[in-house]
Amino acid sequence: MQGKTIVLGVTGGIACFKAAALCSKLVQAGADVRVIMTESATRFVAPLTFQTLSRHDVAVDTFDEKDASVVSHIHLADSADLVVVAPATANIIAKMTHGLADDMLSTTLLATEAPVLVAPAMNVHMYVHPAVTANMQTLRDRGVSFVEPGEGQLACGYVGKGRLAEPEEMMAAIERMLNPAKPLSGLKVIVTAGGTVERIDPVRYITNDSSGKMGYAIAETAKRMGADVTVVTGKATAALPAGVKVVHVESTADMMNAVLSRFEDADIVIKAAAPSDYRPALRSDKKIKKKDETMTLELVKNPDILQTLGQRKAKQFLVGFAAETDNGEQYAMDKLARKNCDLLVLNDVTVPGAGFGTDTNIVSVYDKDGLVESLPQMSKLDVAQNLLSLVALRLNTRGGSDRHD
């Protein structure tokens, strides 16, 4: 971070104390930190705290121009290599989304062309409110990056998602943004994500648990590492990653066709989706009426996307996922061999922190010779970073050994 100017925007939340810790870490890492505080933020932490840590005046009032040779908010906006908003309240996120500029921070954010990293912190119900989620998705679509909040005890007394990420997590995200590695530059990557839907009738279907978070994290990371990324996604609840091509599908057959039509040109295919293994033998065009005490549903096997890709691959590097509940290593090695994968990522969905819908994962990566790497619990973005770094290394050293066990 030597020689980098980071504008740190601090908004009004109890998590301001973590922003002070972040400011200190950034300065220790060699960054030139310029702090902007909202009026509300100054009610939690005094500007003197950030002035002492950053060794610069703290900007609060848009009209408090200390240097007559520059316009402060424009100067800050132009000088930034990165703008970090931490904590980011629902209010500042809404201002950013709608282009409001009624204080020093929102005005600077509107004027800057630097990349922006937002670390939300708020009550769990506020975080999942449709207005807030829509605003964050709009910002993602514009290229704004986010550090996901943590889950746990909140200052308001609730337990849930909304706690500001730890300073170490924010530092890692900042380092990735300031010094992005591009080992996948020029490569075409296909990522499958989400669960597929197999219709029983117009209002009912069978599916698999999947939020899409792991696949979307892989797609976002691959994009950041320089790849041309296409996401083929089924049903998902996570926010779509920005800057990637997105193909929406419903059924397993739809997903297979979408992937196969793009497979020949792909360099890397990562199969992180949870497609349905079976589909109803008969699909009713009309809603099936409730009549008897029981109903028998006949299912037939769907095509196996990963196995088909393994049979057809030529130059492609193929990565599969296995979500298991027992005998994980045995099933992972069997799946890797049967489906001709280059790597197989195993996670035990019964382990807390590694199941469906979580923001974290715990995985082990296998190749034909066995365990390559075991990753402890970490965010899905960090899992994606580790996995794609391994893929890039394998592509550069095919035939060589890069085992970590």
156 is known as an active-site residue: yes
Q: Which residues contact 60 (CB under 8 A, 6 or more apart)?
A: 36, 37, 38, 39, 42, 47, 104
Rounded CA separation 138/118 (Å): 13
Q: Name the burial class of residue 160, with classes exposed (0-12), middle (13-18) and buried (19+) by CB atoms within 10 angstroms of its CB.
A: middle
Cβ atoms of 171 and 29 within 8 Å: the answer is yes
Mean pLDDT of 197-219: 94
Least confident range from 107-111, 112-116, 149-153, 193-197: namely 149-153
Mean pLDDT of 142-151: 87
pTM confidence score: 0.67
Tokens of 367: 């190749």
Mean pLDDT of 264-281: 96
> Which of 136, 59, 58 shows the shortest CA–CA distance to 97?
136
Q: What is the mean pLDDT of the chain?
A: 91
Is 305 a known ligand-binding residue? yes
Is 306 a known ligand-binding residue? yes
Is 304 a known ligand-binding residue? yes
pLDDT of residue 160 exceeding 80, the answer is: no
Is 339 a known ligand-binding residue? yes
Report pLDDT digits (tens) over 242-270.
889 999 999 999 999 999 999 999 999 99
Mean pLDDT of 9-32: 95
DSSP code, position 217: H
pLDDT of residue 194 exceeding 90, the answer is: yes
Mean pLDDT of 195-204: 95
Q: What are phi and psi of 314, to 5 degrees?
A: -120, -85
Active-site residue, selected from the candidate residues 16, 23, 156, 341:
156
Least confident range from 12-16, 147-151, 263-267: namely 147-151
The three-state secondary structure class of 130 is helix
Q: Which residues contact 315 (CB under 8 A, 6 or more apart)?
A: 267
Rounded CA separation 172/192 (Å): 26
Cβ atoms of 301 and 278 within 8 Å: the answer is yes
The structural domains of the chain, ordered by start, are 5-178 (3.40.50.1950), 188-396 (3.40.50.10300)
The three-state secondary structure class of 324 is strand
pLDDT of residue 154 exceeding 70, the answer is: no
Rounded CA separation 400/296 (Å): 53
Report pLDDT digits (tens) over 75-94.
999 999 999 999 999 999 99
Q: Side chain identity at 112, as an amino acid letter?
A: T
Question: Please, how many CA atoms are within 13 Å of residue 396, restricted to the half-sphere of its CB?
Answer: 10
Is 254 a known ligand-binding residue? no
